[in-house]
Chain A
């Protein structure tokens, strides 16, 4: 069988390097790489046994898995092990889609385009690696490989306070990833796993006593949680988003936050059931806090990007809640929500960027009534906002519906918190739309034109997916559902 995953990794790596050295033609190379990547991901889907139809049968283990010895010492067995299951497939698709959309959207980036596109590709390469890696070292390697390009993207192409933002981003996420690494190492050594492979850890860690499991889980939760980000370790996010260039914001919100969720599911929830169980109250508390905090803070934001950033905190809080429910339904909802949020927040950051490019400001009170000037952009803003506040027929609805159904099933009336917060979410999006899209024109420069084709195309890709999976969520959900949810006794 074709080593498809390694092939994708190699092609992405080669493409990334080529982009770095492609000079002014970098964007063409990047586009080609992204298109090839998307095609390869398509192949991956086609060859995945759980797709397209969910026939009730679970696909056990990991598909497309490859394993080669890497570092073998008497006390440390590290392999190059990769593989996908339904959960990672969804994230891989998200990676491919966002990469393509970002490359297209940033088409005319003229400040060191080679480095810019190279770093964008590198980020996506790292994310892809994180989603396929099934070995602690490999996982951590890719995890870090995401951090560095993002640091440079923010620090070099960012806004006026970019240095501060990049530093803050780096400190927070790096400290978290250190805690994560120690947690993962402790997971290996305390459980006595025979190797650093996921399967070995999975086999041995579940037999650990509840107390060490709890310690390990909390450490891992912190490590992954900062990426989520969980309140009160979230303040890096708004700053990073606001200062980052649009492309980086898209990847940051669309992919980097998902790394935390994916990592938590794969490396903590699935392998440490007792620890997870003991830590559930903590997760609930953090999730509810994040949901409320993110939403309430969104209300008070003037900067469009900051608003979207805080709403991300809110949405990721719902994801955390869904994970914390300890049910396969909740997990499915969490994964689906993350995909939805990836696409929608990507779209929202793109429109924020376009608003900035077109009107020279993202300050909500300073720009308004833009609809007659820029109908296409307004439509995109509307689609993004509506999807974000969970309107049916767009991707946010089925995802949130599943999450809330699962929450109700597990927690009962507690679901009223996230449900009630939906009203606040709707409030800040509607208020934003009222001020920016409608009303009399304010702060519109005379030369304002509707978005250029490439920005429109970039957003269009995401809109297409927003609608596609909003109308036909089964296409995606069946893939997730086909994976045996390993950590839960109910299945």
Chain B
């Protein structure tokens, strides 16, 4: 049967949905073997990724293309719920990459009492939500797709029902998440009330058309609620507090998925919601008691987002400096990285979006990889503190080097993808001129600050001498049975995922042109469309 004629342009989504159903079905028929279920999940994610790449025009996969090239980046007319933009497809690819890494690593999961299907099912469901976010062009569709990500991830965090820490994390995650969702919908309702539409493009057009006769206070309040709601997902300060506890408390592989995957959903939502008003709405009646006459909503949004970006990266970095626990340090670093990514939308030019997208890609790789390493190291019996990692680089040089590469990339050291992404992003901010140059300065100063905590970990990894008790190779601490996994206790899947990240981090750091070129084109189209 021709898949394409059956499913239309939604083949990747259908694949994921089908795989989700299959996985839950496997649970019903009591096939709960981690390898089998994992393989199904991994296979579906890989297939979906290949399809997305084919849709993006990756030539060797042309035969798989499911979205007619004429519909990609086509102008948005009427009020559809979704549209295929190449930037959306790029983000689909990013989300699937995060899911792929987590699935791959989870192949080496220890057995647990609940069986694999639930885990993979929830993972696939969340992935499906992420993929849908990427094609949303309607505010309500977008918010519901985000919920499709959120709800499974609440459950993923709470998945091991006996871990009190994880449950506490799930509780916080849920409460803050639900509150934020409420705020988002409230904001959406205000925007709907102002212009009678929930299509993102139509909203911006209507705002622009309304001009000085519009409803500035209502609109600005609506955007304010939306910023607050979406900032939860994107972990912007001061909406970030949950993230640290949740990243810390959740099972590490889930953390990898949260930090590497679902968080990016929030950022892409920012792209979708705010790019159009930034580009279009240059004039409007004043909603401010300070300013008489008209005021432009676009620049107002830009300044607000820029402020949030600076606050986020600064506080994230400062707090990361003080952390003693590895996961919490990485959580804060993840928060600060969100600040960098927000620069992209605050600047609102195609180069900046491209830079932010590359930064998101880099972060998917680095942060997912880093948490996977942390999970692996925890499985080797190393404690949660940074100091517990002493001498790891000497006892496990390859693991140490891989982790070191990820940290260097997070710090933005040259010849890693983290450097290239920051370089492009900050270049774009400078290229936009005006006060955005100061955004670049703030970002760079912050990346300088961030170097300290990464360097400290590097020092611990390579320069400090190991304490004798740590690192019992292969012993799974707390597991029901002492099981020795291959590849020095990591397992093939996890080792492959880590190696993949390490290699890609360097390859993209040295020669980013193919990927960056594609992202740049996508961002340019996205801006041309007006979001």
Which residue numbers of A lie inside 8 Å of B, CB to CB? 69-76, 137, 140-141, 144-145, 148, 151, 155-156, 167, 170-171, 174-175, 178-179, 181-182, 185-186, 188-190
Contacts and interface: CB of A to CB of B under 8 A. Distances in A.
Contacts of A155: 459
B18 to A, nearest CB: 38
B445 A178 contact: yes
Nearest to B446: A178
A185 B433 contact: no
Nearest to B512: A71
Interface in B347-389: 350-351, 354
Given A70-B513, A72-B517, A189-B430, 20 more contacts: A71-B516, A72-B513, A73-B354, A75-B351, A76-B427, A140-B423, A141-B414, A141-B419, A144-B413, A145-B414, A151-B455, A156-B463, A171-B448, A174-B448, A174-B451, A175-B445, A179-B441, A181-B426, A182-B444, A186-B437
Contacts of B511: 70
B444 A178 contact: yes
Contact of B440 (A69, A182, A190): A182
B520 interface: yes
Contact of B433 (A74, A137, A151, A189): A189
Nearest to B511: A70
A185 B517 contact: no
A290 to B, nearest CB: 24
Contacts of B433: 189-190
A151 B427 CA distance: 26
A479 to B, nearest CB: 30
Contact of A73 (B430, B445, B448, B516): B516
Top-8 shortest CB links A-B: A178-B444, A185-B430, A141-B414, A189-B431, A73-B520, A174-B448, A75-B351, A144-B414
Contacts of B440: 182, 185
18 contacts: A71-B512, A73-B354, A73-B516, A73-B517, A74-B524, A76-B431, A140-B414, A141-B415, A151-B455, A156-B463, A174-B451, A175-B448, A178-B441, A179-B441, A182-B440, A186-B437, A189-B427, A189-B431
Contacts of B420: 71
Contacts of A137: 423
A364 to B, nearest CB: 33
B424 interface: yes
B413 A148 contact: yes
B513 A71 contact: yes
B248 to A, nearest CB: 27
Interface in B405-420: 413-415, 419-420
Contacts of B445: 175, 178
Given A73-B516, A74-B524, A185 B351 contact: no
Contacts of A182: 426, 430, 437, 440-441, 444
Nearest to A189: B431
A76 B413 contact: no
Nearest to A178: B444
A190 B432 CA distance: 9
Given A174-B451, A178-B448, A73 B441 contact: no
Given A170-B451, A189-B431, A189-B433, A181 B513 contact: no
A181 B447 CA distance: 13
A185 B512 contact: no
Contacts of B459: 155
Nearest to B431: A189
Contacts of B428: 75
With a 10 A CB-CB cut-off, give which of B427, B433, B445, B463 has the most chain A CB atoms.
Answer: B427
- Size category, B interface: 35 or more
Interface in B505-529: 511-513, 516-517, 520, 524
Contacts of A171: 448
Nearest to A190: B433
Given A70-B513, A170-B451, A185 B427 contact: yes
With a 10 A CB-CB cut-off, give which of A144, A156, A188, A189 has the most chain B CB atoms.
Answer: A189
B437 to A, nearest CB: 6
Given A73-B351, A141-B414, A185 B451 contact: no
B442 to A, nearest CB: 10
B473 to A, nearest CB: 23
Contact of B424 (A76, A144, A181): A76
Contacts of A76: 351, 424, 427, 431
A145 B459 CA distance: 17
B451 A181 contact: no
Contacts of B517: 72-73
B155 to A, nearest CB: 41
Nearest to B349: A75
Contacts of B512: 71
Contacts of A71: 420, 424, 512-513, 516
Contacts of A178: 441, 444-445, 447-448
A118 to B, nearest CB: 12
A151 B440 CA distance: 25
Interface string B447-479: 110011001000100010000000000000000
B325 to A, nearest CB: 22
Contacts of B463: 156
B431 A181 contact: no
A155 B426 CA distance: 29
Contacts of B427: 76, 185, 188-189
Contacts of B437: 182, 186
Nearest to B451: A174
A421 B520 CA distance: 56
A75 B524 CA distance: 11
Interface in B25-46: none
Nearest to B414: A141
A234 B435 CA distance: 30
Nearest to A136: B427
Nearest to B444: A178
A185 B431 CA distance: 8
Nearest to B412: A144
With a 10 A CB-CB cut-off, give which of B414, B419, B451, B459 has the most chain A CB atoms.
Answer: B414
B101 to A, nearest CB: 25
B518 to A, nearest CB: 11
Contacts of A189: 427, 430-431, 433
A439 B437 CA distance: 60
Contacts of A75: 350-351, 428, 431
With a 10 A CB-CB cut-off, give which of A76, A148, A181 has the most chain B CB atoms.
Answer: A76
Contact of B444 (A156, A167, A181): A181
A141 B147 CA distance: 42
Contacts of A145: 414
Contacts of A144: 413-414
Contacts of A170: 451, 455
Nearest to A143: B414
Contacts of A141: 414-415, 419
Contacts of A179: 441
Contacts of A167: 452
A76 B516 CA distance: 11
A6 to B, nearest CB: 14
Contacts of A181: 426, 444
A135 to B, nearest CB: 12
Interface in B100-130: none
Contacts of B419: 141
